[in-house]
Structure 1
Amino acid sequence: MYQLTISLEQFLTEFWQKKPTIIKGGFANFQDPITAEELAGLTMEEEVDSRYVSNKDGKWIAEHGPFTEEKYASLEETNWSIIVQAANHWHQGAAELVEPFKAMPQWLFDDLMISYSVKDGGVGPHIDQYDVFIVQGSGKRHWRVGAKDEGQYVETNQHSALRQIEGFEAIIDQVLEPGDILYIPPGFPHDGFALEPSMSFSIGFRSPKEQELISNFADYILANDVGDVHLHKPKMKTQDNFGQISTSDLNSLTEMLLSSMEDEHRVNDFMGCLLSQSRHQLNIITPEPLWESEEVANHLLSGGSIEKVSGLRALYHEQDECIAYINGEVIKVSEEDNSIIKLLCGKQQLSVDDFPSGIAAANVSLLCELINKGYWYIDTE
């Protein structure tokens, strides 16, 4: 089990979205949770989001996976990297690296990205709009971080898929060794390249943009057939200028626009559904044959456990513990059965010990439903 050598609470107070920093020895005696060979294996899978980036002789190449063994056999010894997004969805050992950061809100967590680079491999100077903790695994990597972007940086056209910038003056310029952590808030340019074959593990946190909230809320309104009404104004009056929008009409139309957002329950459901959807594909497999509630109950009572699919988001609102939002779906339970909501949203694994007062039939039925959706699973091997 990985454990941070710093207080996450103190770190958030001092650095979170304020300034970049390096935490030397952030993980003591750090060991890679995945090998370079296993990572390469993931890049060969169709479902996995992977990339290959090379920068030989100043020429940048970026390709998306899946890749083949022949691809790797043809590679040279320097100037390339492979990158896997959401590696925590596909590799259980890698997923354990996320555990020390679970004091952070799950809705904010994006994914664990893993990069393997040979000497001089990297993706070039660029700027991200999310918070990231870059954990150095085996090998060494040289990192430079610049001052926050205030419009002073210029994008290059080296490669359309890389969104690089021309360069920057470094405020951090250090070599990371195994267990060191580089934290970079949104908007700070950075550039890292391997000094030797090395692994990097990036734990990323990303909030939705205002544009995303507005766009997705509009989709939610349409999908739920809300507000399918026109302005009704029987006391219409004549006006002097045909092209004028009266203040009265503008106010009426504005009230129509804002009315949906003023419905607290509707907004809560929208936010829960939106924030519980992963940005990356999940390893969801529907069981065959489907489970029966009695089988699920017997499995738990005999000492078995139920595992949540890695990366699956299960959330609930602080003010309502009877509703869970799981992968964009709304799950409601009665008040007498609401203890299961916190368990579903707060634990990766469930066993009979999590139900000290016994497992209610309604809870067993819900667990069975979630297992049959592929959101939770029973390891039968």
Structure 2
Amino acid sequence: MYQLQINDIDYKTFLAQYWQKKPLLIKKGFANFEDPIDPEELAGLATEECIESRIITNHQDNWEAHHGPFEQFDLLTETNSTLLVQAVDHWHPSAADLIEAFRFIPNWRIDDLMISFSTPGGGVGPHLDQYDVFIIQGQGKRHWRVGLPNANLKQFAQNKSLLQVEQFDAIIDAVLEPGDILYIPPGCPHEGYAVENALNYSVGFRAPDQKDLLSSLADHVIDTESGSKRYADPDLQLRSSIGEVAVSDKQRLKALLNSIIDDEALFSQWLGKTLSEPKHDMDLAPLELPLDLEQLLTEYDEQDIVYRAGGVRAIYQINQNDILLSVNGENFTLASHNIGAVKQLTDGNSFEFGAIISALSSLDFAQAFTKLINDGIYFID
């Protein structure tokens, strides 16, 4: 297990002074760091159809982006090239352990683990991200420059899938060595180039924008056949102009839309579903012969360990009369007294089976947990 040490400050201080405020170089954030994956394994993942990967090259200032899967790696030259593989935590359990060190940030905000391998001079160029990211230096060294947000910086497209930003003033200019970590808030320009063959691990965070949320909410309303309440104006009066949409009309229409968001049950169901949905494919292994509750209780001992599969998104909401557990886009309504067991499912990536046995006497929790086991989202070893 990786233990994160943020220089000489605790998590509370980091959140107050740096989170979404300014970048931070964390020297030896992981002491005695050992790579959980090697470049050959990373390349193996990039050959898979279901795993998103890219190779970026920058020979003589000619930037090119190539999308996987890759059958061969001649594009990954001895210099000025980078292989990037997305959502490695979904497929590589040892690499997924890196994310656990950042679980002081709420589960729903954590996105995935991207890993890159770069040859000397390789990188993706100066760019902006609209989300927080921790970049962990693995083997090798990488030279990083990071600046503060600047609305005057111009962005431009090197090609269809590589957006970069013009040169910027850096407040961090350093060469990272194994175990060093760089925290970069949204909107901070940054660029990193390998000094020697280097592995980097990027823990990214979700930051949905308004249009994404509204689009998702609209889809949920349609899918659940909700939102059937119609506009009404029983107090309509004669007007001097029939062409005007009056202030009172706009207020009624806005209230009609707001009533969807104010529907607590609908909003909670949608929120749990959308915030727990994974964006990438997953390496799940559903049981060939599904278990029922009786088999679950007889085949496993209290000391057996329950594991959450890599990349699984598990969150919960405490409502007035119940708990809404949301796992990979599926909602489970559970009795409030199961909160301890729910926290076992969401707050760690493993726990002893005995920690939830008492909750299995509750039918709703038993049905939910049995389904999660049968679907391969959790497994017992």
Which TM class, normalised by the smaller chain length?
over 0.9
1:141 positional shift: 0.4
Evaluate the alpha carbon distance shift between residue 156 and residue 249 of structure 1 in structure 2; reply closer, same or farther with a 3 A threshold. closer
Contact persistence 2:318–2:324 (CA under 8 A)? no
Deviation by residue 1:173-212 (Cα, 9 ceiling, x = unmatched): 1111111111111001111000100111111112211222
Structure-2 separation of matches of 1:339 and 1:356 = 11
Deviation by residue 1:212-267 (Cα, 9 ceiling, x = unmatched): 22222222222221121322334433322221223333332222121112222322
Q: Which amino acid aligns with 2:251?
A: N
Which residue number in structure 1 is paired with residue 255 of structure 2?
A: 255
Structure-2 separation of matches of 1:315 and 1:168 = 38
In the alignment, does 2:124 pair up with 1:123? Answer: yes
Which residue number in structure 1 is paired with residue 283 of structure 2?
A: 283
Question: Paired residue for 1:17, among 9, 16, 20?
Answer: 20
Question: Paired residue for 2:53, among 32, 50, 55?
Answer: 50
Correspondences of 1:274-353 after superposition (within 5 Å): 274-301=274-301, 303-319=303-319, 322-353=323-354
SS of the residue 1:330 aligns to: strand
Contact persistence 1:337–1:360 (CA under 8 A)? no
Contact persistence 2:359–2:366 (CA under 8 A)? no
Structure-2 separation of matches of 1:373 and 1:134 = 32
Deviation by residue 1:144-193 (Cα, 9 ceiling, x = unmatched): 1122131x212233222111123222221111111111111100111100
Contact persistence 1:299–1:305 (CA under 8 A)? no
1:361 positional shift: 5.9
Structure-1 separation of matches of 2:142 and 2:271 = 39
Structure-2 separation of matches of 1:217 and 1:190 = 33
State the percentage of identical aligned residues: 41
TM-score by structure 2 length?
Answer: 0.92
Q: Which amino acid aligns with 2:154?
A: V
Question: Paired residue for 1:30, among 28, 33, 36?
Answer: 33
1:303 positional shift: 4.1
Deviation by residue 1:267-313 (Cα, 9 ceiling, x = unmatched): 22222221111222222332212223222222333743332121111
Structure-1 separation of matches of 2:126 and 2:215 = 31
SS of the residue 1:16 aligns to: coil
SS of the residue 1:275 aligns to: helix
Which residue number in structure 2 is paired with residue 85 of structure 1?
A: 86
Which ranges of structure 2 fall in alignment gaps of 5 or more residues?
none
SS of the residue 1:200 aligns to: strand
Correspondences of 1:1-381 after superposition (within 5 Å): 1-6=1-6, 7-68=10-71, 71-73=72-74, 75-150=76-151, 152-301=152-301, 303-319=303-319, 322-355=323-356, 357=358, 359-360=360-361, 362=363, 363-378=365-380
Evaluate the alpha carbon distance shift between residue 194 and residue 342 of structure 1 in structure 2; reply closer, same or farther with a 3 A threshold. same
Structure-1 separation of matches of 2:367 and 2:123 = 49
Evaluate the alpha carbon distance shift between residue 5 and residue 239 of structure 1 in structure 2; reply closer, same or farther with a 3 A threshold. closer
1:31 positional shift: 0.8
Deviates more, 1:240-249 or 1:166-175: 240-249
Structure-1 separation of matches of 2:262 and 2:76 = 57
Deviates more, 1:270-279 or 1:337-346: 337-346
Structure-1 separation of matches of 2:368 and 2:145 = 49
Structure-1 separation of matches of 2:281 and 2:154 = 33
Contact persistence 2:139–2:178 (CA under 8 A)? yes
Q: Which amino acid aligns with 1:273?
A: K
Evaluate the alpha carbon distance shift between residue 231 and residue 354 of structure 1 in structure 2; reply closer, same or farther with a 3 A threshold. same
